[in-house]
Structure 1
Amino acid sequence: MKTKIAVAKGDGIGPEIMASVLRIFEAANVQLDYEYVEMGKSYFDAGHSTGMTAAAKETIERLGLLFKGPMETPKGKGVKSINVTARKVWNTYANQRDFRSLNGVDTVFSKAGIPINLTIVRENIEDTYGGIEHLLTNDVAVGRRMITRPGSAQVIRYAFEMARRKGYAKLACGHKANIMKLTDGMFLETFYEIAKEYPDIEASDIIVDDLCMKLVSRPELFQAIVLTNLQGDIVSDLCAGLVGGLGFAPSANIGDNISIFEAVHGTAPDIAGRGIANPTALLLSGILMLRYLGFSTAAADIENALLYTLEQGVHTGDFGDKSTAAANTESFADAVIANLGQVPAKGAVVAQPDAAITINHDKPSINKLTITSPNTTQEMVGVDVFVESGKQPQELAEIAKGKETDLFKLVMISNRGTQVWPTGSIFTELVNEYRIRFEKKDGAEVTQKDLLNIAAELSDDLKVCSVEFLMKFDGKIGYTLAQGQ
């Protein structure tokens, strides 16, 4: 019986490259059946604010797997990216992107004889991709960067399982915990907690800026790297540049119920319809999908045919030897099909027995909610009140000190994260948004209402933009100090 999957052809060059990839699958006798779904720019234009029809959503949720071409989100219409929305709505929490040197694709590293073979696993749901932003003043915009312990654990455990499955000996965690001590700090802490379950894999961590430097100078140092969402997005595109560009970078978005395999390059509207697009990235993503579905033999046959084709110098116009004629999309696919059964001289893939992998088709009755430590003790210890003001720090302090009570004392005022009261520097340049921090006095017991009352009192004299409680969890502070505090 054939496995049925949802297919979205995509926008721009999407339909052309998807047709070529599915033709290769058919020639390789891949046991798949397709239900085509309506998604992308034309459906935004037709008034579907999510970029997909209700029928498309139902089909994907029923089948549990989407194979999609590149899609465009209309600009300037206030709509969210269809690509990001699909990944988040269906909780495809792990984005896996494999980068390897390919025959016939010349790069700085291939010319130097340095082979690249590494995998980036990126958290796919949280971080700044929550898109939660506010203008606090006309001059100050704030975005919430959410990192959660359950979300971190999901993607990190997937990364360790992936590393073990691929036979990797080591996995690194890229982070910026030296600066973002609570958000990246939580991600890094979770990484080392889960690493204890995988003693066969060497776990290490590296600050993301140092990671980027090492990736462009000594990429052979790494086998697999797991990162938070935004950092992983940047680093994965950097790695695509190491192997020839996004046209050679497959992408898999893995969830517990629904997974998405896609090409992450653009829709290239300037060449759409001309039949000259490079289908390699989508084909490599399809090969990842075949392995995910358990079709290991077909995946190896197609990958070897692709590597052999590239090794023979067959290329589309965007890469390869410019002194030889470029293949178009169809003739490139024809060459891969003709080479099924061939094995490249370099980088051949060994076919593994087909695996029995079953997609989970059970539809949950309620939304899954994960709380990792429900018995954690919590204590309210203060409040940060963010206000709009053009006053000087000392003037603000006089207003705020007038709001002190038997419960609270004023401890700090900051601007753009830097302390400007009770101490600071005259050289610190200011904007019109401040953070005023009150902490409870020794022995005081405070409630949410007490904390909100401070903001209410300040609102008599200042415009209050936002309020954040200062908390302790199991006795550890759950907030950061200001620069210079």
Structure 2
Amino acid sequence: MKIAVAKGDGIGPEIMDAVLKIFEANKVPLEYELVEMGKWVFDKGFSNGMTPEAQHTIENLGILFKGPMETPKGKGVKSVNVTARKTWNTYANKRVFQTLHGVDTVFSKAGIPIDITVVRENIEDTYGGIEHMLTHDVALSRRFITRPGSLQVIKYAFEMAKKKGTRRITCGHKANIMKITDGLFLECFYEVAKEYPDLKADDVIVDDLCMKLVTRPDAFDVVVLTNLQGDIVSDLCAGLVGGLGFAPSANIGDHICIFEAVHGTAPDIAGKNIANPTALLLSGIAMLRHLGLMENAAIIENSLLYTLEQGTRTGDFGDKNKTALNTTQFSEAIIGNFGKKPEQGVKELLPNMPVTQTVFKLEKNPMMISKEMENEKIVGVDMFIESAEQPDVIAKKCQRHAGVKFNLINISNRGTQVWPTGSIYTNLVNQYNVRFESLDGSALNQQDVLGLYVSLSGDFKICSSELLNMWGDKRAYSLAQGQ
């Protein structure tokens, strides 16, 4: 099988060469096609951090094994790592955090074993990166959570948990505050849970989850979260097992998968041959299993675990009284230990079952849409306006524009109601949300809303607007604090 390889920036080429050397020594039956991705590709003028040839190769081969990559700062370009994940719809970011004997942590010293798999939604949330300045003082970031996207990653998490033989799967969320967005994700979680009655499915508010993870990490098995929360929680879990140097990552999609270390490029030690290749090697081992190369994966992982148990180390971890090896020496130690097994955590030697690569030739973008269960109607609109006036002054102006179809319901500032009731102690910024609803609760159309928009724009700069929708009797918009 042939896979695409991008060595990355900073320490990327050194650790990638070390891992590929280990693969070669174990006679892993893979061919590698190098592709151009990373900061140096940005510098050549490619705004997405990859050449068209690289994109074509990856889409043809379906597997990308990549080193850490840097995105230039202050140039207005998007992260190449996030761009790759989103472009190829690798919707599930799987990160496995396990106790590694020889990597001392607070928990390993206390005899508390850790085996946590974090599954992070990889496409949506604030990682959409859709942001606007509404006024010179107010920035807006749009947070998209979709039903089809949530179902994709949650179904993957449950199926993976089932195959792993886990005892518990947990949804981390903030649905107590973000009732519609996180509420939709949590709703999808329990919808999927019904299909897996043998798995214990529960949910924890994400801040409580973080506290529980650092006090009783052994209580958790599989945790599934939205994108930003998953990013934060997965780094927290990395800290539980020794840091990002021991955190592998797999980005799983239906057509293309990306395997990478999640740590940075470490430019301060680049070129010194002292970087720790363990995270990238663990990511590579996960890739081998994904490709059905079970025996190769087990031999290499057993050797790595044995090497760590012996106290062999690079300079970033381990017993400082023992001499640190450089990157090359560390990889050679792993190769020298092929066939040896650790005392704890031995990986079973299953036979190789290579998958048949399928190249998908899509003719159009896949459209994901769920069935609309109830009729939709527009019942109002939120108009986000710029103003430095007091709420009662704004209310009087807005009421003049309401006409015969709309009623001014409330005015809020940064999500807190300031009219018709509120507090003089609520600090204000120069951007308000004025909410209009239909006079009698009847359905409106977009022409009604556009007429209100035109009328209101005579008095205010309208920064943005959102329709107030209902599906059946279910309100599809949030209330202001205090409304």
- Tell me which interval the TM-score lies in, with the shorter structure as reference length: over 0.9
SS of the equivalent of 2:332 reads helix
1:354 deviation in Å? 2.9
Partner of 1:149: 147
SS in 1 for 2:134: strand
Q: What corresponds to 1:133 in structure 2?
A: 131
Equivalent residue number for residue 185 of structure 1: 183
Secondary structure (helix, strand or coil) at the match of 2:74 reads coil
1:398 to 354, 375, 396: 396
1:480 to 469, 478, 481: 478
Q: Match for 1:79 among 67, 77, 91?
A: 77
CA separation of 1:443/1:84 partners in 2, compared to 1, >3 Å: closer, same or farther?
Answer: closer
- For 1:454, give the aligned amino acid: L
| Local SS of the residue matching 1:197 | coil
Moved over 4 A (4+): none
Q: Using the TM superposition, give the Cα deviation of residue 231 of structure 1 relative to its aligned residue in structure 2, in angstroms.
A: 0.1
- The yes-or-no answer on 1:315 pairing with 2:313 is yes
- Would the aligned equivalents of 1:123 and 1:228 in 2 still touch at CA under 8 Å? yes
Cα pair 1:175 1:228 within 8 Å, conserved: yes
1:420 aligns with 2:418: yes
| Contact 2:303–2:337 (Cα < 8 Å) also in 1 | yes
Once the two structures are superposed, residues 60-114 of structure 1 have per-residue CA deviations (whole angstroms, 9 ceiling, x without a partner) of 0000000000000010111100000000000000000000010110000001110
2:117 corresponds to which residue? 119
**1:434-473 correspondence runs (5 A):** 434-442=432-440, 444-473=442-471
CA distance in 1, matches of 2:474, 2:315: 58
Aligned AA for 1:42? W
Instruction: Give, in whole Å, the separation in 2 of the partners of 1:390 and 1:171.
Output: 48
Displacement of 1:170: 1.2
String of CA shifts for 1:331-370, please: whole Å, max 9, x gaps: 0000000001000011111123333533431121100001
The 1-side partners of 2:478 and 2:350 are apart by 50
Unaligned runs of 5+ in 2: none
Residue in 1 that maps onto 2:332: 334
Given that residues 256 and 360 in structure 1 are in contact (C-alpha distance below 8 angstroms), is that contact kept between their aligned partners in structure 2? no
Cα distance in structure 2, aligned partners of 1:13 and 1:387? 48
Q: Residues of 2 paired with 1:202 and 1:445: CA distance?
A: 43
TM-score (norm 2): 0.99
Match of 1:305 in 2: 303
CA distance in 2 between counterparts of 1:256 and 1:443 reads 44
> Partner residue of 1:283?
281
Specify the alignment match of 2:215 in structure 1.
217
| Distance across 2 between alignment mates of 1:153 and 1:273 | 43
1:376–1:445 distance in 2 versus 1, CA, 3 Å = closer
Moved more, 371-380 or 166-175: 371-380
Query: How far apart, CA to CA, are the structure 1 residues paired with 2:384 and 2:277?
Result: 50
**How many residues in Structure 1 have an aligned counterpart in Structure 2?**
483
1:250 paired residue among 243, 248, 251: 248
Distance 2:336 2:39 in 1: 34
Contact persistence 2:379–2:441 (CA under 8 A)? no
Partner-residue secondary structure (3-state), 1:437: strand
Q: Any gaps of 5 or more consecutive residues in structure 1?
A: none
Query: What residue in structure 2 maps to residue 229 of structure 1?
Result: 227
Deviation at 1:453, TM superposition (A): 1.5
CA–CA separation in structure 1 for the residues paired with 2:143 and 2:219: 30
Using the TM superposition, give the Cα deviation of residue 190 of structure 1 relative to its aligned residue in structure 2, in angstroms: 0.3
d(CA) in 2 for partners of 1:356 and 1:318?
35
Q: What residue identity is the alignment partner of 2:67? A: G
Amino acid at match of 1:31: P
Structure 2 residue 35 is matched with structure 1 residue 45: no
For 2:384, the aligned partner's letter is F
Q: Contact 2:125–2:227 (CA<8 Å) still a contact in 1?
A: yes
TM-score by length of 1: 0.98
Mapping of 1:6-21 within 5 angstroms? Answer: 6-21=4-19
Tell me which amino acid in the other structure corresponds to 1:36.
L
Distance of 1:360 and 1:442 partners within structure 2: 57
Q: Which amino acid aligns with 2:173?
A: H
CA distance in 2, matches of 1:42, 1:231: 30
Moved more, 162-171 or 380-389: 162-171
**C-alpha spacing 1:445/1:100, structure 2 compared with 1 (3 Å):** closer
Q: Which amino acid aligns with 1:102?
A: L
- Select 2:271's aligned residue among 270, 273, 288: 273
How much is the aligned-residue C-alpha RMSD, in angstroms? 0.9
Aligned partners of 1:224 and 1:182: how far apart in 2? 24
Alignment partner of 2:168 out of 170, 189, 198: 170
Secondary structure of the structure 1 residue equivalent to 2:143: coil
Change (3 A) 1:187 1:473: same
- Alpha-carbon deviation of 1:28? 1.1
Task: Check if 1:89 corresponds to 2:55.
Answer: no
Q: Distance in 1 between matches of 2:402 and 2:311?
A: 76
Partner amino acid, structure 1, of 2:75: K
- Aligned pairs (5 A) from 1:99-114: 99-114=97-112
SS of match in other structure, 1:391: coil
Determine the C-alpha separation between the residues in 2 that align with 1:409 and 1:13.
61
